[in-house]
Structure 1
Amino acid sequence: MARVAFTKDLFLWCMSIIYLFAFSSLYVQIPGLYGDNGLMPARLVMDKEAESLKDLLDEPSLLKLTPKLGLDTSTAMDLLCLAGMLISFLCMVSYRARDFLSFTILWVLYLSLYQVGQTFLWFQWDILLLEAGFLTLLVAPLSIPFFGVRSSAPHDYVTLWLVRWLLFRLMFASGVVKLTSQCPTWWGLSALSVHFESQCIPTPLAWYWHHFPEWFLRLGVVGTYVIEIGFPFLFFSPLRSLRVISFYAQVVLQILIILTGNYNFFNLLTITLCVPLLDDEVFFGAAKRSGRRQGLGWKLLSFFSSVLVPGLVLGWVAYYTQKLFNLQLKSDFTISAKIAFSEKQYLEWLEHVMPWTIRLGAASLALEVLLALVRSFTESRGIIKKNIAVIQSLFFGALAVAMFGISLVDHSVVERKTFFSLPPQLHELHKRTEPYSLTSSYGLFRMMTGVGGRPEVVVEGSYEKDKGWKEYSFLYKPGNLATRPPVVAPHQPRLDWQMWFAALSNYQNNPWFVTLIYRLLNNQPEVLELMADNPFPDKAPNYVRATLYHYHYTANDPKKKGYSAVDWWTRKKQAEYVPPMSKDQTTLKDFLKHYRILEDAVKQKTESTLAWGIKQIREQIGQPEGFTFVMSLFGSGLLINLFNVIFF
């Protein structure tokens, strides 16, 4: 039987890095986002400490306990981020640090921050990190002080299976919702003709991919459906070769997304979730097989499992892909594609297949638990170790069954009949665990935005209401037409991301945007640190306004309209987003009072030595540019890992 000791530790190492990215990226933005003078002061949602255990369990966050340490909320957030950065860095560089205790602390820290994160921390990758983080603490070994027991155990296969199930739910739902949303670009296979231009923060390569031939981009949409809806079923294959194929399919998709879009740590986290598709045989198989006797029977079995079956499966996938999307090779060697099924047929298929995904998951989990019990007897030496292994396998098996049951509520959200057919007990259990974000529903790029042009909100300030307007530049989002799209992942600039969402709606639905205007009218340094520059360094503007534009990439052909050898973008004014506002304006004050922004900060004791130390660290670090800060920490950890490999 193939082992998973290396696979397990590789997964834990990758999760350490993801946590490091998440905590360090958030840390540099706390003053501007959550400080008392930030866009959404955290004190407004965490203005009282936990008075009982029930208060803490109802809304689990360590921030409810930090007032006892003499910390205000934003300083406490600094403390939690610093602790998360330190522990995740240690886990990255030290094999011994990657244990149950470390990953439990990391999960609790991020959950605590999530509780006060509000709009700026409610992204799908944040809830995915919480769910993956909880599974990680189940995967991580329990180190015993002075003994250092860290060997792999039979139940590892069960806990790693939970990660595979999460990956299945993530990818399958992401593919399914693209069609259940009834979005015309997904049904018309034209989504990628819009996506590279309309995504939140594109990379420079996105400009080039946007100008690929239309037929090629349509083929890319077909490939996305196949990888997200079809290949995930191979995650549960008993044949390693099929799991490896599905692994590479997912990784290639994620790498392509990384190359063309800045989605912070999300795609790296998805790749990390793919690691349990492998086992140690994949990494060390060649060395192990070199000593085996290559008999005829073994060769036939190897050919069957590694060549014949994968070939048949891939052929079957290719056949149905051609049939469902009517792929045709044209005389000019391009490939035409068109969806060959109706919405009604698709919904009927989904209604039929959703119960089978649950049956497949249940059967696969049952097999893993059974095999774990078998391994407990065959791989453990001594009656005591065998009994311990059996107890562990039964315990983690029962826990996995409970997690699987809870997750079915979120998994079945994409199909109503399956959702309502689940036992009421599962819905009740899901409701009870909801505050802890143990499971969540997913569905990426449900609707393709920016079909008629990429909406962007441009913010300007002036000393006079009718002239002299100067534009504010953001660090990463499109603004200046000549500015090249950046590479910023794995850092997530949360203000830039919310500016993208704000452009899809109005400022009334984004109250933080009004707070942004108020902070700019006061030249608030913490908020200005989240932006590229301040056009009013000496004196704050008297007025700030916002205008909605539609952006398009410039053409790549000098003969076409919109071509520019200098600019990356063209833009056209659409409408007034926010009229000119002054800080003494009554409507602005009333709006801010309604959202308690103008309230005085709750007086909390901050004279403690701990508070002083945390603020000293903040003064030394400040609010550095996020990408540089995140990659500096990661690079340092990578160098230490390399040093350990070479010398130890």
Structure 2
Amino acid sequence: MRWDWFTDPGYWASRLAFQRMLAAIYLVAFLVAANQFRALIGADGLLPVPRFVRRVPFRRSPSLFHLHYSDRFFAAVTYTGAAVSAALMFGAFDSTPVWAGMLAWAVPWVLYESIVNVGQAWYGFGWETLLLEAGFLAIFLGPANTAPPTLVLWLLLWLLFRVEFGAGLIKMRGDACWRDLTCLYYHHETQPMPGPLSWYFHHLPKPLHKIEAVASHFTQLVLPFVLFAPQPAASIAAACMIVTQCWLVASGNFSWLNFLTITLAVSALDTSVLRIQPPPLAELPSWHRGLVIAVTALIVILSYRPARNLVSRRQLMNFSFDRLHLVNTYGAFGAVTKIRHEVIIEGIDDPEPAPQTVWREYEFKGKPGDPTRRPPQVAPYHLRLDWMMWFVSLSPRYGQSWLPALAEKLLKADRKTLKLLRRDPFDGARPTFVRARIFRYRFTTRRERRETGAWWVREPVGMVLRTGRLGVDGTVQPVRDS
């Protein structure tokens, strides 16, 4: 029996680029986990994994850490994932047998699945499940010495469609400013973590902001359907998505969301039109073909609820319907905040707070703090604590499970926690009191920028965490604010 319909050599180069790019994103994800887990979810972290796995059974959060947890074991998992991802990125498995390549791609997927499923609030972002879904499909793409299986390429198109179309629908169903094209009057200023160019994007003329919104709607609501059109139309649609994602990369820091969407769009490019000739390709074994057909059937079945969610008036954003995150829903910024607030954590080492006390500020690595500091470029790296602080600025309930613990760690001058910050105003010594205030932030005008050199203007508007000190039991005891 001939299986010529089963593979498409015209996507050999785009499959190769997709695999290289996906492996690079895996590498970043594992390095992020390795650098931050001890303070966030380690045995003595803000939301410890051991406490979580005692409370949540394996069937609800499949993870290797239900079998065993220690910080050393977690570190081994992250560095193993990083090592395998690096090997995949450099093509170490390009010419191996199909089963070996599948096993190599399964390793980072299983390991990262284990991390996400115990990561709690720190791993509740859409790009985590997007990486897992793309990573699962990558297992079945085959090594570089074979032609890519057409069914898996179609599944990647279906994933890209849901990412873009889901994001477009959540905008149109959400904030009215997306419908009147004014959301980008505010978004560049109020997004979770502005980048080095966000100030300039914010100060673009308003007609250009409306053009940005129109381009977003066209890319997310029209072009996803063109992905399933004959070539070269599908490649043109994918190329337009890549351009718009590059625009988003330039305008802000969204972890690896935009980079991963670009990676998915690359898989849709028919590189045969560029006359890229693949090397001699081996035929995929029959068992692999049967497995691909079975996986395709599984994805089709699991797609029912995500597809129904797309047409639902109560569309869920960034939601998983299965524990392994095989087919998910996506979306971003269904609502755009019009005013930016920032949580600023401060401390003193005075014996008692007083009206004349000068509070010293903890500086974070990525989120706005010092008004004179230019927003840094962070993405595709992900500063999880910085991102969650943005959610706390929207509502204190987002920090109920971990913000008091953060204050306790700062009062104890916990070294693991302090490593998450850019600057500790006490240089490793223990403060006597800490508090968290909320400030109203806005970008400076062009004139203010010229006169002061500052990027932000801010003013205090309230308290998020009352002034507290360590009690005799080692927990934070609130005191009367001065």
TM-score by length of 1: 0.66
Note the C-alpha offset of 1:65: 2.8
Correspondence list, 1:396-545, <5 A:
396-416=292-312, 434-449=322-337, 451=338, 453-462=339-348, 463=350, 464-466=352-354, 467-507=357-397, 509-537=399-427, 539-545=429-435
Tell me the equivalent position of 1:162: 155
How many Å separate the matches in 1 of 2:412 and 2:238?
A: 51
Residue 93 of structure 1: which of 84, 90, 102 is its match? 90
Instruction: Find the counterpart in structure 1 of residue 195 from structure 2.
Output: 203
For the Cα contact (< 8 Å) 2:105–2:138, is it kept in 1? yes
Residue identity matched to 2:91: S
Q: Distance in 1 between matches of 2:472 and 2:451?
A: 41
1:211 Cα shift? 0.4
Distance 1:48 1:75, change over 3 A: farther
Cα distance in 2 for partners of 1:569, 1:518 equals 29
Aligned to 2:75: 78
Counterpart-to-counterpart distance in 2, 1:4 and 1:575:
56
| Greater share of residues in helix | 1
Unaligned stretches of 5+ in structure 1? 50-54, 67-71, 142-149, 289-378, 420-429, 592-648
1:526 offset after TM fit, Å?
Answer: 0.5
Question: How many residues are paired up?
Answer: 457
Which residues in structure 2 correspond to 1:272-421 (within 5 Å)?
Answer: 272-284=263-275, 389=286, 392-393=288-289, 395-416=291-312
2:132 corresponds to 1:120: no
CA contact (8 A) 2:441 2:456 kept: yes
1:554 aligns with 444
Q: Which has the larger radius of gyration?
A: 1
Q: In the alignment, what sits opposite 1:139?
A: 141
Specify whether residues 90 and 217 from structure 1 end up closer, same or farther in structure 2 by C-alpha distance, changes over 3 A only: same
CA contact (8 A) 1:135 1:162 kept: yes
Question: Which position in structure 2 is the counterpart of 1:28?
Answer: 35
- Cα deviation digits, residues 474-524 of structure 1 (max 9, x gap): 111100010011011111010001001111001575321111111111111
Matches within 5 A, 1:179-190: 179-181=172-174, 183-190=175-182
**Distance change >3 Å, CA 128–CA 538, structure 1 → 2:** closer
Residue by residue over 1:216-269, the C-alpha shift from the partner in whole angstroms, topping out at 9 and shown as x without a partner, is: 10111011000011011111012x221121011100111011111111211111
- How far off is 1:116 after superposition? 1.2
Contact (CA 8 Å) 2:194, 2:252: kept in 1 or not? yes
TM-score scaled by length of structure 2: 0.88
Q: Could you tell me which residue of structure 2 aligns to residue 600 of structure 1?
A: none
Instruction: For 2:340, give the aligned amino acid.
Output: R
CA contact (8 A) 1:243 1:278 kept: yes
Match of 2:170 in 1: 177
Q: Does 1:569 align with 2:465?
A: no
Q: Look up the equivalent residue of 1:133 and give its one-letter code.
A: G
* Cα offsets for 1:578-624 (capped at 9, x unmatched): 11111118995599xxxxxxxxxxxxxxxxxxxxxxxxxxxxxxxxx
Kindly indicate whether the alpha-carbon contact (under 8 Å) linking 1:191 and 1:448 is maintained by their aligned counterparts in 2. yes
SS at match of 2:323: helix
Give the C-alpha shift of residue 404 in structure 1: 2.0
| Structure 1 residue 439 displacement after superposition | 1.1
Match of 2:146 among 143, 152, 156: 152
Q: Supply the AA of the counterpart residue of 1:280.
A: T
In 2: Cα distance, 1:103 partner to 1:230 partner: 33
* Pair 507,4 (structure 1): closer, same or farther in 2 beyond 3 Å: closer
Matches of 2:186 and 2:359, distance apart in 1: 31
Native 8 Å contact 2:408 2:476 kept in 1 = no
Summarize the Cα distance change of 1:510–1:58 in structure 2 as closer, same or farther, 3 Å threshold.
closer
Taking a change above 3 Å as real, the CA distance of residues 418 and 213 of structure 1, as seen in their structure-2 partners, is closer
Kindly indicate whether structure 1 or structure 2 has the higher relative contact order, using CA contacts under 8 Å at least 6 residues apart.
1
In structure 1, distance between residues paired with 2:314 and 2:150: 28
Partners of 1:18 and 1:265 within 8 A in 2: yes
CA contact (8 A) 2:40 2:48 kept: yes
Deviations 1:298-350 (A, max 9, x none): xxxxxxxxxxxxxxxxxxxxxxxxxxxxxxxxxxxxxxxxxxxxxxxxxxxxx
Distance change >3 Å, CA 574–CA 56, structure 1 → 2: closer
| Cα deviations by residue, 1:148-194 (Å, 9 ceiling, x for unpaired) | xx6424x711111101100001100100110111x122122111111
User: Identity of paired residues, percent?
Assistant: 30
**Aligned counterparts of 1:525 and 1:395: Cα–Cα separation in 2:** 48
Whether contact under 8 Å (1:2, 1:279) holds in the other structure is: no
Distance 1:129 1:508 in 2: 24
CA distance in 1, matches of 2:228, 2:428: 62
C-alpha contact 1:173 1:411 (8 A) present in aligned 2 = no
Q: Please, which of 212, 215, 218 is the counterpart of residue 207 of structure 2?
A: 215
Work out the CA distance in 1 between the residues paired with 2:114 and 2:399.
Answer: 25
Alignment partner of 1:247 out of 229, 238, 244: 238
SS at 1:173 equivalent: helix
* AA partner of residue 298 (structure 2): A
Q: Structure 2 vs 1, CA of residues 573 and 233 (structure 1 numbering), >3 Å: closer, same or farther?
A: same
Distance 1:56 1:483 in 2: 44
Q: Verify the 8 A CA contact 2:344 2:361 in the aligned structure 1.
A: yes
SS at 2:446 equivalent: coil
1:12-71 CA-partner distances (Å, limit 9, x unpaired):
11111110011012211112212233222222113499xxxxx755532112233xxxxx
CA contact 1:42–1:74 (8 Å) conserved in 2: no
Tell me: CA distance 1:57–1:39, structure 2 relative to 1, closer, same or farther (3 Å): closer
1:46 corresponds in structure 2 to 53
Q: Secondary structure at the match of 1:483?
A: coil
Separation in structure 2 between the aligned mates of residue 482 and residue 180 of structure 1, nearest angstrom? 37
Q: What secondary structure sits across from 1:492 in the alignment?
A: coil
| 1:36–1:60 Cα change, 3 Å | closer
Structure 2 distance, partners of 1:75, 1:440, is 31
Cα separation, 2, equivalents of 1:117 and 1:5: 35
Deviation at 1:209, TM superposition (A): 0.9
Inter-CA distance 418–215: structure 2 relative to 1 (3 Å threshold): closer
Which residue does 2:256 correspond to in 1?
Answer: 265
Cα distance change on mapping 1:135 and 1:522 into 2, 3 Å: same
In 1, are the aligned partners of 2:391 and 2:398 still within 8 Å (CA)? no
Match of 2:62 in 1: 60
Per the alignment, do residues 498 and 538 of structure 1 end up closer, same or farther by CA in structure 2, a change over 3 Å counting?
Answer: closer
Structure 1 CA distance for aligned equivalents of residues 472 and 465 of structure 2: 13
List alignment gaps of at least 5 residues for structure 2.
Answer: 1-7
Deviation at 1:2, TM superposition (A): 5.5
* Residue number among 463, 466, 470 corresponding to 1:583 in the alignment: 470
Cα-to-partner distance string for 1:74-122 (whole Å, 9 max, x where unaligned): 2221111000010001111124268211111110000001111010111
Compared with structure 1, are the counterparts of its residues 588 and 563 closer, same or farther at alpha carbon in structure 2 (3 Å cutoff)?
farther
The one-letter code sitting in structure 2 at the alignment partner of 1:242 is A
Provide the C-alpha distance between the structure 2 equivalents of 1:570 and 1:418, rounded to a whole number of angstroms: 37
Give secondary structure in 1 for the equivalent of 2:146. coil
